Structure 1
Amino acid sequence: EEAPASEVGWMTSVKDWAGVMISAQTLTGRVLVVLVFALSIGALGIYFIDSSDPIESCQNFYKDFTLQIDMAFNVFFLLYFGLRFIAANDKLWFWLEVNSVVDFFTVPPVFVSVYLNRSWLGLRFLRALRLIQFSEILQFLNILKTSNSIKLVNLCSIFISTWLTAAGFIHLVENSGDPWENFQNSQSLSYWECVYLLMVTMSTVGYGDVYAKTTLGRLFMVFFILGGLAMFASYVPEIIELIGNRKKYGGSYSAVNGRKHIVVCGHITLESVSNFLKDFLHKDRDDVNVEIVFLHNISPNLELEALFKRHFTQVEFYQGSVLNPHDLARVKIESADACLILANKYCADPDAEDASNIMRVISIKNYHPKIRIITQMLQYHNKAHLLNIPSWNWKEGDDAICLAELKAGFIAQSCLAQGLSTMLANLFSMRSFIEIEEDTWQKYYLEGVANEMYTEYLSSAFVGLSFPTVSSSSTRQPCQDAGGNTGFFIASDAKEVKRSIFHCKVVDDITDPKRIKKWLYHEYI
């Protein structure tokens, strides 16, 4: 009684081992499945090469390089066939599987060819049926992830596999002839002429320049017209529809070495985007070496699309949602310098708009906790909800800009100091200088409006100096001696501010900014 039990246990262990080897659940299984598919495509390629030769010919195994390679492939297929047979639960149904039928008609003829030193093309075209598994292989490699892409590849692989297999059968019977005619009614057709014949037949064009002469070939064409026409009529429109429905703004962002990028999401409209780009890419900011990546779940309209095209060197748009981790990975949120969330200032329900932006913050922080987020909020009391997010850190640069709070603060400050709100609004908005020849108050007002607030590192030469001294030195001679202190400047553009990082104590006699140019410190000593 113990012997049968041990025998059953041994057979079960072997079956389980074989099942693991051919399944895609383990790394070994995935490698083996992909390798079998690759070798099957290689064997199909050898068939394409040999199809230019006669259907049957005398060949020496030791001199025929393609036959040697095909033999090695089929030895591997035979071993894999054994593994599949051991792992099969239903041994009877196993013999009727497509892969088993392919191995029946492709593996034995190779061994017979080696034994007889005669090569017969035979049914080796059946290897094209392996192309049906192409979508499964791409899923194993984690290349296909969406349902539409899987369906598209599956339809294309079935269509091409059927096309190539049918062409191989026509090539065999037309070059061999009918057996009851003693193979005397054959015609010489290349494999690719048969591919052409099957395509014009499926498309119901039928030029008539290439046609089947044998009875077997014509009989096959009758049934193929019925099935091929149905396949062509159903598969091709579906393939075209899937290709046409692909998102125009899909794909992933490709980061450029040495160039930063920020992600902008939330309320993406023509007005919000144009205002943002007008300020962010203003010429007074000097060269902005930052790429702006917009992410929104709705494709842009024609006007917004035209705006993106005008700034195509620094702006990219991707369709998706920040609530989807896959879309966050597409825009490389983990390597972005910051993520900006825009709010709809004209929404009917400000609390609902703030709730949507808070959900965006949570989604982004869950995906990458260290990303810096700057979000717009409409109501002041909703800012407290951001403190409940564990990875929200004000010290690391996370910030919430409340529009209602800014408006209320401006109104309050205007009551204390008249005109302060106007001055602050002018400082925080980017405007270029408009020159007026007349000496009026508008001229001086526009000069002030053209100034903005900037931050820049200060030269170590400023250490220990008083504020009036530092202010009077902002237009003096620069040299390459930078410190680590940060200064806040009110200037017309970023170029004027950059002189503060190169300020030098040695040269202090040039006051005209146009005469300032770079020089090396050791040349003056």
Structure 2
Amino acid sequence: SDGKNKGLIVQVEFYVNENTFKERLKLFFIKNQRSSLRVRLFNFFLKVLSCLLYILRVLLDDPRARPLSLSVLRSLIIWVNRPLPLWALQVTSLILSLWLSSFYDCLCDGNVWEQVLRIPFILEMISAVPFVITVILPSVRNLFIPVFLNCWLAKHALENMINDLHRAIQRTHSAMFNQVLILISTLVCLMFTCICGIQHLERAGNNLTLFDSLYFCVVTFSTVGFGDVTPKIWPSQLLVVIMICVALIVLPIQFEQLAFLWMERQKSGGNYSRYRAQTEKHVVLCVSCLKIDLLMDFLNEFFAHPRLQDYYVVILCPAEMDVQVRRVLHIPLWAQRVIYLQGSALKDQDLMRAKMDDAEGCFILSNRFEVDRFAADHQTILRAWAVKDFAPNCPLYVQILKPENKFHVKFADHVVCEEEFKYAMLALNCVCPATSTLITLLIHSSRGQ
């Protein structure tokens, strides 16, 4: 009796927690892919808008109109000219951005201090809180605020937005694309921070424009160093030293990760070209472990038909290519027609590499000599579900070893049970009955098209 009551209490508490107001907000703003993408896109827009408004404020500012006394030179770093309409736009965008970030932090589970001490939240506070103070104290409305640091918040929002975009459209880019995007955005943020920082500090020195600061940063970071434009006062010189040290630490790490991903991708076979996928016909062979007998049976059966001579075969296998498979794929008959990619059909990134959505068909085969045939069918079923979810329009040809497992892949276009065809096809001297049947079905399907 006590056990039953305890179970009921747990179920009621779980039900109540799932229907709280916070859980409903989390379900809409975080777990819902499309709404989360819209909110993050709006947040990214606010960050970029704040940077653009900072540039506009700099273009409208003219410190040369003031007398150049010592006190004014010092005040040039602390105070700026900020028109009232521009100030109102900056206040609105930054307060909205701060509220949106705080709202997301409240919805996320975790320690409060961990959320507060995060670098993005600290940058939000540095940018937005002084503007809130200017609303309360109009006398400090022209106080300089480093709004250009929002470029780093825009970079952080862009990375989150790309992740939500992948989830919303049920597609994903490769890790190489994501790393290149991070590298480019990091470089842009470093340059933008250095440009805006030097331009502002040099208001009390050379009075450089944004273009002059851009020219100096490009010349400096490219190690050319013409020396015709240089910072004159020590704060701007210190900023240049800091930014160079940061670049020497951050950029090599990014390049190292990019080079590592490039070598790993080349080691795993790279990508099948999108241009080739759209201009030439190819099929994808998905296997959990590529045995030499399975490979030979498939290639012999596949390229034995004249209608399939112009097809390419992309092999997607999670294991590394062994010596026997490598020797077979070096045979001139198949060297230019067979492409080996190391990857799993359970990962969207690997399916994207094989251009599964453009393939003429996908063969999911199992080795007929498997000892544990039920385990082999379970792997086949999982791969079939993953491929169907990623590329629903790609014809799916599945080989099942046990007849009772055919029910789990009934969504496939063609399903062949190896045990059902075994004795009938062996009487016709067919070496690999299931593979031969699936390839014949592919030929009839392509002929119908």
- TMscore range, shorter length: 0.5 to 0.7
1:130 to 149, 153, 177: 153
User: 1:24 touches 1:140 (CA, 8 Å); kept in 2?
Assistant: no
Query: Any idea what the Cα deviations from partners look like across 1:157-192, whole Å, max 9, x if unmatched?
Result: 445423421231012222x125xxxxxx54566232
Query: Any idea what the Cα deviations from partners look like across 1:124-151, whole Å, max 9, x if unmatched?
Result: 4223222341222222323668888767
Does residue 220 of structure 1 match 2:220?
no
Does residue 399 of structure 1 match 2:422?
no
**Partners of 2:148 and 2:28 in 1: CA distance:** 24
Does residue 170 of structure 1 match 2:198?
yes
The structural deviation recorded for 1:37 is 1.0
1:320 to 327, 332, 343: 343
Distance of aligned partners of 1:308 and 1:93 in 2 relative to their CA distance in 1, 3 Å threshold: farther
Match of 1:97 in 2: 122
User: 1:166 touches 1:198 (CA, 8 Å); kept in 2?
Assistant: no
- Note the 1:141-290 alignment, pairs <5 A: 141-142=165-166, 157-158=185-186, 160-174=188-202, 176-178=203-205, 185-187=206-208, 190-197=212-219, 199-200=221-222, 208=227, 210-246=229-265, 248-250=269-271, 262-266=283-287, 268=290, 273=295, 276-277=298-299, 279-282=301-304, 285-286=306-307
User: 2:176 touches 2:258 (CA, 8 Å); kept in 1?
Assistant: no
The structural deviation recorded for 1:41 is 1.9
1:352 to 371, 383, 389: 371
Distance of aligned partners of 1:45 and 1:309 in 2 relative to their CA distance in 1, 3 Å threshold: farther
Opposite residue 195 of structure 2, the aligned amino acid is: A
Point out the structure with the larger strand share. 1
**Partners of 2:195 and 2:240 in 1: CA distance:** 10
Match of 1:61 in 2: none
Match of 1:81 in 2: 98
Distance of aligned partners of 1:317 and 1:34 in 2 relative to their CA distance in 1, 3 Å threshold: same
Opposite residue 306 of structure 2, the aligned amino acid is: R
The structural deviation recorded for 1:68 is 7.2
Match of 2:70 in 1: none
The structural deviation recorded for 1:101 is 1.1
Query: What stretches of structure 1 of length at least 5 have no aligned partner?
Result: 1-14, 59-65, 179-184, 345-349, 377-382, 414-420, 431-453, 456-485, 487-497, 502-525
The structural deviation recorded for 1:35 is 0.8
**Partners of 2:416 and 2:364 in 1: CA distance:** 10
Point out the structure with the larger helix share. 2
Opposite residue 379 of structure 2, the aligned amino acid is: R
Match of 1:447 in 2: none
3-state SS of paired residue (1:294):
strand
Query: Any idea what the Cα deviations from partners look like across 1:439-465, whole Å, max 9, x if unmatched?
Result: xxxxxxxxxxxxxxx99xxxxxxxxxx
Distance of aligned partners of 1:358 and 1:164 in 2 relative to their CA distance in 1, 3 Å threshold: same
Opposite residue 197 of structure 2, the aligned amino acid is: F
User: 1:22 touches 1:84 (CA, 8 Å); kept in 2?
Assistant: no
The structural deviation recorded for 1:193 is 1.5
**Partners of 2:416 and 2:27 in 1: CA distance:** 53
**Partners of 1:308 and 1:194 in 2: CA distance:** 58
User: 2:363 touches 2:396 (CA, 8 Å); kept in 1?
Assistant: yes
The structural deviation recorded for 1:214 is 1.8
**Partners of 2:422 and 2:356 in 1: CA distance:** 32
**Partners of 1:404 and 1:127 in 2: CA distance:** 65
- Note the 1:352-391 alignment, pairs <5 A: 352=371, 354=373, 357-367=376-386, 368=388, 373=397, 375=399, 383=401, 385-391=402-408
Distance of aligned partners of 1:406 and 1:49 in 2 relative to their CA distance in 1, 3 Å threshold: farther
Opposite residue 98 of structure 1, the aligned amino acid is: L
Query: Any idea what the Cα deviations from partners look like across 1:471-516, whole Å, max 9, x if unmatched?
Result: xxxxxxxxxxxxxxx9xxxxxxxxxxx9xx9xxxxxxxxxxxxxxx
> Which structure ranks higher in relative contact order (CA pairs < 8 Å, sequence separation ≥ 6)?
2
Opposite residue 201 of structure 2, the aligned amino acid is: V
Distance of aligned partners of 1:29 and 1:237 in 2 relative to their CA distance in 1, 3 Å threshold: closer
Does residue 296 of structure 1 match 2:317?
yes
User: 1:261 touches 1:336 (CA, 8 Å); kept in 2?
Assistant: yes
3-state SS of paired residue (1:343):
coil
TM-score (normalised: structure 2): 0.58
Distance of aligned partners of 1:206 and 1:335 in 2 relative to their CA distance in 1, 3 Å threshold: closer
Distance of aligned partners of 1:158 and 1:109 in 2 relative to their CA distance in 1, 3 Å threshold: farther
The structural deviation recorded for 1:297 is 1.8
Match of 2:365 in 1: 341
Paired-residue identity, %:
13
User: 1:338 touches 1:373 (CA, 8 Å); kept in 2?
Assistant: yes
Match of 2:42 in 1: 35
**Partners of 1:358 and 1:49 in 2: CA distance:** 63
**Partners of 1:295 and 1:228 in 2: CA distance:** 39
Aligned residue-pair number = 371
User: 1:74 touches 1:107 (CA, 8 Å); kept in 2?
Assistant: yes
The structural deviation recorded for 1:49 is 6.9
User: 1:365 touches 1:391 (CA, 8 Å); kept in 2?
Assistant: no
Query: Any idea what the Cα deviations from partners look like across 1:290-313, whole Å, max 9, x if unmatched?
Result: 66442222465597378699645x
Opposite residue 161 of structure 2, the aligned amino acid is: I
Opposite residue 352 of structure 1, the aligned amino acid is: V
Asked which structure has the greater CA Rg, the reply is: 1
TM-score (normalised: structure 1): 0.51
**Partners of 2:189 and 2:398 in 1: CA distance:** 52
The structural deviation recorded for 1:233 is 4.3
Q: CA RMSD in A?
A: 5.9
